[in-house]
Amino acid sequence: MEIADYIIAEDKELVALTLGGDDIAFEYLFNRYSDAIRRLFQHRSTSPADTEDLLQETFIKVYVNLHRYSPSYTFGQWVYTIARNTHIDFERCRQENIPINEKFSAPVASTPSPEENLISLQQRSQIENYIGCLPDQYRQLFTMRFLEDYSYEEIAEKLQMPMGTVKTRIHRARERMCRLILEGEKH
């Protein structure tokens, strides 16, 4: 098979070729999915070394179990499931290796100190003042997006505005807030 044929081949074809003994086909499957699986492990906060180990372990499992792949699923879904399960097994093993005194030690206090509470209240008060200085058309959008955590789509739907308008106004509101904060720091 020519290189161009491997590049344009569907996953199912590459699986069949690999099962037939064509290791180059598996290399193309690996190259096709390795970046996405690497990002999955990185997103789950594994160290760079653990990420690479998990990536290799995942594709070893893929290779060994390739005969079990069912074309009723996309190959990407199948690889993702193996990667997810590999990560779960990794986390289980890691938890089993934690010394018992660390497993049951009291967690560090997560509540802020009185000083931190005061600073937080002061900062929140300043931010509320800055939000109050925004024009009405920006204030509502800024509040919905950054304080109430609405998505752009939810804001557009709730306010019955075009998505482009929502994005533009939120961008402008953010710029104005930055200017207000910088001006406030100068005084």
Span 44-52, mean pLDDT?
83
**Model's pTM, two decimal places?**
0.52
Domain boundaries, given as residue ranges, for the chain: 3-101, 114-186
What is the per-residue pLDDT for 187?
A: 54
The whole-number pLDDT of residue 171 equals: 86
**3-101 in CATH: which number?**
1.10.1740.10
**97-141 confidence digits (pLDDT tens):** 666 555 555 555 566 667 666 666 676 777 788 888 888 888 888
Q: Do domains 3-101 and 114-186 have the same CATH topology?
A: no
Per-residue pLDDT reduced to its tens digit, 145-185: 877 788 888 889 999 999 999 889 888 888 888 787 777 65
Residue 138's nearest CA partner among 160, 163, 165 is: 165
Q: Which residue has the higher pLDDT, 75 or 131?
A: 75
CA neighbours closer than 13 Å in the CB half-sphere of residue 97: 6
- Per-residue pLDDT, averaged over 10-38, amounts to 91
Q: What does the pLDDT read at residue 37?
A: 92
Can you tell me the mean pLDDT for 16-44?
91
Residue 17: band (very low, low, confident or very high) from pLDDT cuts 50, 70, 90: very high
CATH topology of domain 114-186: Arc Repressor Mutant, subunit A (1.10.10)
Question: Taking all residues of the chain, what is their mean pLDDT, rounded to a whole number?
Answer: 83
**pLDDT per residue as tens digits for the range 58-72:** 999 999 999 999 888
**What's the pLDDT at 175?**
83
CA distance to 8, 10, 20, 68, 106, per residue, from 5 (Å): 5, 10, 16, 24, 58
How far is CA 88 from each of CA 65, 85, 91, rounded to the nearest angstrom? 18, 5, 5
pLDDT at position 102: 58
Residue 49 pLDDT class (50, 70, 90 cuts): confident
Most confident residue range from 7-21, 89-103, 139-153 = 7-21
